[in-house]
Amino acid sequence: MLKASGQQVPPSPNILTTPMPVDKSTAPLRVASFNVSLYGKSAGDVAKRLLAGNDSQATDLASVIQAIRPHVLLLCEIDHEPEGRTLNAFADEYLSQGDLPLEYPHRWSIPTNTGLLGQLDLDDDGDVELPTDAHGFGQYPGQYAMAILSQYPIDRDAARTFQTLRWSTMPGALRPIDPVTEQPYHSDEVWNSLRLSSKNHVDIPVLIPTLESSTLHDGRKTETIPLHVLASHPTPPVFDGAEDRNGKRNHDEIRFWNEYVTNAHADWMVDDMGTAGGLKHDSQGSPPAFVIAGDLNSDPKQGDSLRSGITNLLNNPRVQDPRPTSPQHGISTAKFGRNEIRVDYVLPSSNLDIVGSAVVWPDAQTDLGKQIRATDHRLVWIDIQWPSSN
């Protein structure tokens, strides 16, 4: 049974909650994903802004998060530094301030391929330089990275990253083809060096407290259950040519999770520590609980992506799609120009119970509606519970 933190999670004002019938004696766990667009023109720009303590964009972003109050929050597009300066500044100077302070004692600024220069001329222009020859498009190392904030401990020793996994090792990888020459777009040398992740693919076990019988004064003892937060931010399927190299990479970055949650023994799926295989069952042989979260840059109904990637993931029997919505904008989670599209996801495993979900997109005339304009994406959240053992 899941133990609630001291943080209450009532439906937020102006937010449509999608309730589902449940019969539980425990409070839900709220998990959210939010692309916050906290990036600059050069390394250190965002950290400097945030450390000043009065950045208007960060203030508005924090107000949105404080209104929703997730227990576990994945942030996309927030600068990464090894010491996590930008993440810590956002958490300490903005989220923990104001009328509704929100504390996240457990944090991880996740390493990223964006702005990380490789050794090869990936775009074949005669130079090896940023941003086009980086392992992931970026003007500087750490741009467009991800981070996780949690009210519960993160098991860093058990976390897995797939930052260096080669795209070519994926069986059936969609290698880009030049439609004019009908030859591979990349040379064999480049193709065999390309990484699958434009940012990273990360399995982050968050240790959720449980209540079980024990000999404590109140008859209980505290244990934990790991919730695997499977985080990624695939490349946008645009900014390329007829070979559709970004569209194919986006497809295969999404496909990675489809394989990861279903194929525990995939020998090609080798993490950065050299361990092979996908998500494995626990010591009792039970499938682990997970949530796939992030800006996946793909809508199953519209847009420029190869939609079979996201469609196959949503149709995976191990995955649930709660289809969170907002009152006026339906299931859309981002606005690019005049186009509203669904690209941000929080998808729980099928062995979890969904209590509620929503996209945070209130009326533009409300205070919260004005603050969400700090980014072109909208926060997406779900409330989940472990099934009762009773």
Query: Exposed, middle or buried by CB within 10 Å (0-12, 13-18, 19+), for 183?
Result: exposed
DSSP 8-state secondary structure symbol assigned to residue 134: B
Domain coordinates in residue numbering, the chain: 29-385
**Alpha carbon distances (Å) from 298 to 193, 236, 320, 350:** 25, 8, 17, 21
pLDDT tens by residue, 166-206: 999 999 999 999 999 999 999 999 999 999 999 999 999 99
219-233: pLDDT as tens digits = 555 588 999 999 999
Q: Which one, of 265, 163, 244, 160, lies nearest residue 205 by Cα?
A: 160
Give the tokens for residue 386: 């472990």
- Residue 189 dihedral angles phi and psi, to the nearest 5°: -60, -45
Give pLDDT, residue 122: 85
Q: How far apart are CA 46 and CA 103, in angstroms?
A: 21
Single-letter residue type at 251: H
pLDDT tens digit string along 295-353?
999 999 998 999 999 999 999 999 999 999 999 999 999 999 889 999 999 999 999 99
Cα 372 to Cα 62, 144, 368, 375, distances in angstroms: 10, 19, 6, 6
Residue position matching structure tokens 């295989």: 277
Strands 220-232 and 160-161, sheet pairing: unpaired
Question: Which CATH number applies to 29-385: 3.40.50.300, 3.60.10.10, 3.40.225.10, 3.90.1150.10?
Answer: 3.60.10.10
The pTM of the full predicted model, rounded to 2 decimals, is: 0.91
